[in-house]
Structure 1
Amino acid sequence: MSTARTRTTATAVASNAEAAPAERASGSAWVTTQFVLAGVVWGASFLFMKVALEGISPAQVAWTRIILGALTLGALVLLRREKMSRSLVVWAHLTVLGLTFCVIPFLLFSWAQQHVTSGVASIFNATTPIMTAIMAWLVFRVEKLRLLQILGIGVGVLGVVVIMAPWQGLAFDGSLVAELAILGATASYGFSLAYMRRFVSNTGMSALAFTFGYIAMAGVVMALLTPFLVLTPVRLDAGIVVSLLLLGCLGTGFAYVWSQNSVRAWGPTRASTVTYITPVVGVVLGILILGETVSWNEPVGALVVFLGILLAQDRVRIGRRNDEGTDAAASVPRQR
């Protein structure tokens, strides 16, 4: 009997050992799928905004996407009976995130896309990891950067200069101001990501509940601003309505949850590489659907920005370190 039990136990242990890698692989594949979907949806969001602006104002675009995103996530929270935090401090932080991660950048992006192509907007959006590194290093002091990482920030800034092409002459017209507005939006994103790490890294809420929390607070802010921002005439057609639904329900709803799941599974550094996907999707859709054109300096500048991101995120190794074991351990995604 003892031998039989031992064999049964050994078989069960072996089965569990075999199942665990399969479960991890399945979970990793699902996270990867969400990561790619978020990149594709966010890349397409620049097209959705451009189409929506043909019939409604920039403020109305931002208002609509936030309200639709909050309603979509709110319905999911109710269906899944997610637990929300009861801490007033947490909700105060979520309100800050609602402003800096949604309200401010959405308004800036929507206004800027009146003056620049959707492709250019998506390329500038790729500066978000550079902005995040700056905020985490200089503002919140949650990261210490090595010299090579600081060099990466400088390379990223150089890439932005290449995209803006100052040798063509800088006139403070709508295009230049719009590009600066987009950089303000990505700086706001960077602030928000560093703020999350500093103040709300562990709220006890799921990714869905946490994401709904700050988008809901952004919705409250927009609802209060309704009389001042959105009570202007609109012209709607099928294309505009579909674009707004996709921008709100997908781009400001599901995609934010997918991204949060990636952050929790892989960590913020690896998850932020979603910015490699969005400009490609944004540029391709702009060319194919809107007939936009791309100047040589824009993709070249984007490549320089990507190099800066790799350096700033410490993904480029020059020489070999003595603490290889430490580096290898640090490269393993941390489950949160």
Structure 2
Amino acid sequence: MMHVSTPRSDRMLAACAAGVTVVLWASAFVSIRSAGAAYSPGALALGRLLAGALTLGVFCLLRREGLPPRPAWRGILISGLLWFGFYMVALNWGEQQVDAGTAALVVNIGPILIALLGARLLGDSVSPRLLAGMAVSFAGAVTVGLSMSGEGGSSVLGVVLCLLAAVAYAAGVVAQKPALGAASPLQVTTYGCLVGAVACLPFAGQLVREAADAPVPATLNMVYLGVFPTALAFTTWAYALARTSASRMGATTYAVPALVVLMSWLTLGEVPGPLTLVGGALCLAGVAVSRSRSRAATRTAPVPVAREEAAREPR
């Protein structure tokens, strides 16, 4: 199969989109802390998905995006059920059962699973540079989690829920990748979010009851989670994923723990300790290594030019 390199400008746009995603996903942790005190895991997931689906639906109407093509629906359904639906409920529930260190250790195996599934099912290449970067970032994520752990303890149920969330996240990403070859990032995100919302409808009663008693800041944080970390961030994620491998995109999310530390410092006044700062630095260093390109790859990048010259020769 002939590989055509992505233009430099397209790669830069994809990198910017990935950056928007990780920043917004990091901000979600601060909002979940507020909303999670007033909403149960299922109700919070449903409220977030409804707000996201409504926002995405408006953009689809404005851009006159129709239904996704038939070949994209399998990936949309799988990613919608696993990532938008099951993952959000399991993660909300699991993080109420375990401390931050355990959650960091279990949930952050997601990018590793993405690399393994991507290599097995999508044919993604897993270079030593990518594996090394992911190992460094994983160590940093665990360090951040352990340094910020409270007295919440842990439970077998919480560990299992976090593990299931990580598996669902990885499977959802790998399923979403082929769908982006047939439909636009906005279509894939919109209908995936809608599928997740439909899957979470059994929690509608809880959402209505809890919304009636919830403080306004908690409800506003739930709406924020739907509009920005869901509608916008998942769309920019899909845009970037369509232009790179699932493994590299998964490794990029290891920047989230470092950004959470910074945002908690700026917005909540939680001054990070030395160990937390070391963990955040490791996360960012690992992402830089995993997304860097070797000199050999850089030298061999302009292959299409040679192919064009060869094509002009008489046969």
Query: Deviation per CA, 1:232-255, whole angstroms, max 9, x where unpaired?
Result: 545322211210111011111122
Between structure 1 and structure 2, the one with the greater Rg is 1
Give 1:299 shift: 4.7
CA contact (8 A) 1:123 1:279 kept: no
Comparing 34-43 with 175-184, which one deviates more in the overlay?
Answer: 175-184
1:237 has 2:215 as partner: yes
**Distance apart, 1:48 and its partner CA:** 1.0
Correspondence 1:280 to 2:258:
yes
Q: Does 1:214 align with 2:199?
A: no
Please tell me whether the aligned partners of residues 132 and 190 of structure 1 are also in contact (alpha carbons under 8 angstroms): yes
Residue 103 (structure 1) aligned to one of 85, 108, 115: 85
Matched residues, number: 294
Contact 1:129 1:190 (8 Å CA) reproduced: yes
Alignment of 1:49-128 (within 5 A): 49-87=32-70, 90-115=72-97, 128=110
Q: Does 1:40 align with 2:23?
A: yes
Matched, 1:264 2:239: no
Using the size of structure 1 for normalisation, the TM-score is 0.69
Match in the other structure for 2:117 = 135
Deviation at 1:52, TM superposition (A): 0.4
- For 1:326, give the aligned amino acid: T
The letter for the 2-side match of 1:132 is: I
Moved more, 56-65 or 151-160: 151-160
Change beyond 3 A, Cα 1:328–1:280:
farther
- Distance change >3 Å, CA 177–CA 284, structure 1 → 2: farther
Unaligned runs of 5+ residues in structure 1 are 1-23, 331-336
Name which of 202, 208, 228 aligns with 2:181: 202
CA drift at 1:76:
1.4
- Rounded to whole Å, the distance in 2 between the matches of 1:34 and 1:147 is 25
Q: Which residue identity is paired with 2:179?
A: V
2: distance between equivalents of 1:110 and 1:72? 22
Deviation at 1:97, TM superposition (A): 0.6
Post-superposition shift, 1:72?
Answer: 1.2
Distance across 1 between alignment mates of 2:14 and 2:138: 31
Q: Of 289, 296, 299, which aligns to 1:325? A: 299
SS at match of 1:174: coil
Q: CA separation in 2, counterparts of 1:119 and 1:288? A: 21
- TM-score after normalising by structure 2: 0.73
Structure 2: runs of 5 or more not aligned:
1-7, 305-315
Per the TM alignment, residue 281 of structure 1 is displaced from its structure 2 partner at its CA by 3.0
